[in-house]
Amino acid sequence: MKGIQAEIYLLIIVIIWGSTFALIKGVIDTIPPYTYLAYRFLLAALILVVIFWKRLKKLNIMILKKGSLIGIFLFLGYTLQTVGLKYTTATKAGFITGFSVVLVPIISFLLLKEKVSRDSVIGVVLATLGLWFLNYNSSFSFNLGDFLVLLCAFSFAMHIISVGLFSKKLDYVLLAITQITVVFILSLFMALIFERPAIHFSYSSDIWWSILITGIFATALAFYMQNRFQRHSTATKTAIIFSGEPLFAAIFAYILIREKVGLIAWAGGLLIIFGMIISQKESAR
């Protein structure tokens, strides 16, 4: 029963994350990406510290090392995704980010020597075709934003793998706080270098509401839940659940900002999802 409950919570995370693509798309038209990430992750870190301050006395060098590594992967993922959203659509970013699920078994093989199944190979082929169809237009272009979000997919794949490795051995709350704090520090550093004039408090209420929503729900709550509940599921089941994020991104992008995609793009998105699911099928048996 514990595993089923954990997977329900992981699905809730996916729904929350899917909804943030449209919100972030609106925010970064006004606030630079590193400044936005600094505010968002500072808020998330403060929330978790206030709630779990008694756990901080258990913090040790191992948690700091592993949590910082996870945080670096997370920073690269969010930074590339947020910057990439400036040059591509929320729907495409959601679908391409989902490609990280296909990358998990491949990277696991390279780093952990886990066997790559035939289904994984088929999944990669389907997902690659899906990316091609998703970006279909008269010139079959693949723009800068799409490339940055694809790199972000690699980073998020590493994040999934590292959370799976370390959350079962170390305090999941402190791991979550550490990784979120690392993302805040790195984002602030980049903001001070490239976006110093933007670091102020005179943004509109809509911007602050978006920061509050993403900071509380899509960051503090989501990463706390991932670090807590991924321990009670397998990496494979987690990856399959996370493969639903692109679909929710497209749905929320349509509901919130009326961003539409054509039939070919939807077909590409479905191919990516099929690729993600098939790549995990054998180990899920």
Alpha-carbon 274 to chain mean position: 19
Does residue 229 surpass a pLDDT of 70?
yes
Does residue 175 surpass a pLDDT of 80?
yes
Q: Classify residue 110 as exposed, middle or buried by CB count within 10 Å of its CB (0-12, 13-18, 19+).
A: exposed
Q: pLDDT tens for residues 40-95?
A: 999 999 999 999 999 999 999 999 999 999 999 999 998 898 788 788 876 677 77
Name the percent of the chain lying above pLDDT 70. 89
Number of helices (H) and strands (E), helices first, in the chain?
A: 13, 0
Give dist(CA 173, CA 189) in Å, integer. Answer: 24
The whole-chain average pLDDT of the chain stands at 83
Q: Where are the alpha helices (DSSP H) in 167-262?
A: 172-194, 205-215, 222-229, 235-242, 245-257
Can you give the pTM of this predicted structure? 0.82
Name the percent of the chain lying above pLDDT 90. 35
Does residue 138 surpass a pLDDT of 50?
no
Q: Which residue has the higher pLDDT, 232 or 9?
A: 9
